[in-house]
Copies of this chain bind each other. A is one copy, B any other.
Amino acid sequence: MKTVTTLSELRAARAALAGTVGFVPTMGYLHAGHISLVQLAKRDCTSVIVSIFVNPAQFGPNEDLDAYPRDIPRDLQMLQEAGVDLVWLPTPEVMYPPGFQTWIDLDEITQPLEGGMRPGHFRGVATVVAKLFNAVGPDKAYFGQKDAQQVAVVKRMALDLNFPLDIVVGPTQREADGLALSSRNKYLSEAERAAAPVLQRALQAAQVAYAAGERSAAALRALMQQTIEYEPTARIQYVSCAHPLTLQELDTITEGALLSMAVYFGKTRLIDNVILD
């Protein structure tokens, strides 16, 4: 496994890879969710490239950029064991050199949900993903369903800007008790960690109601909210039942929906989601 830092090193190492290339962009502090994407990429492609970059542009001024967890040696060990061919570890100076001033903005799709709570977040995501795509030149790029709006934004951007690659979405990986894997889970206290699986229980309650015939989005939202509020430590930021592509809130569910939520446990903000089918 080769590791590179600069863009020219990356391009040289990329050009030396034969066959198709799968790409998994990450912010590091890897867990089994990231590794499951690497495994999908290995299944599909001849070679696999992973990037590790904690992207300052997608953190707001009051967010946890400096505190975001980092452990590069452990990450590299995990990627080596997973059979990755090339890891790109750009510095902020490599990504955003002096004079940098080009940004990618999406309209409606970035307004609700995470975009509504985190102004500028998806501008940072879209811009860095476009840079990563152009730098790596993959045939397929892999994203986790856990970040559902990010998936929708990246798919929309790739379509709108004619990026010559496929976006592949891997399923959310979970702990045994149902908590979705996230680098931010490490912030949870013991009590918060014990409460956090309520997110999946809320999604499951809505799925059961949908399977039983419920088609009112308001009813599903209310059901998720009530389930979460059963945990006194949980503080809901939003609970949503939205169109899976446009992310507009639904009245009636006709062809699937994205159920999603952002909930604070203490100072830690967790998200989770499921797509009804």
* Chain A residues at the B interface, C-beta cutoff of 8 Å: 7, 11, 99-109, 126-127, 130-131, 134-135, 137, 156-157, 160-164, 246
- Closest CB in chain B relative to A241 CB, distance in Å: 21
From B99, B104, B135, B162, A135 is in contact (CB under 8 Å) with: B162
Cα–Cα, bound, A156→B98 (Å): 12
A14 closest partner in B (C-beta): B164
- Whether A103 touches B104, Cβ cut-off 8 Å, given contacts A134-B163, A161-B134, A162-B131, is yes
- Is B101 touching A109 in the complex (CB atoms < 8 A)? yes
- Is B107 touching A105 in the complex (CB atoms < 8 A)? no
Residues in B with CB closer than 8 Å to A105 are: 102-105
- Is B102 touching A160 in the complex (CB atoms < 8 A)? yes
- Is A134 touching B164 in the complex (CB atoms < 8 A)? yes
Which 4 A-B pairs rank lowest in CB-CB distance, beginning with the nearest?
A102-B160, A101-B107, A134-B162, A135-B162
- Is B135 touching A100 in the complex (CB atoms < 8 A)? no
Residues in B with CB closer than 8 Å to A109 are: 101
Max chain B C-beta neighbours (<10 A), residue from A11, A99, A127, A160:
A160
Residues in B with CB closer than 8 Å to A11 are: 164
- Closest CB in chain B relative to A192 CB, distance in Å: 37
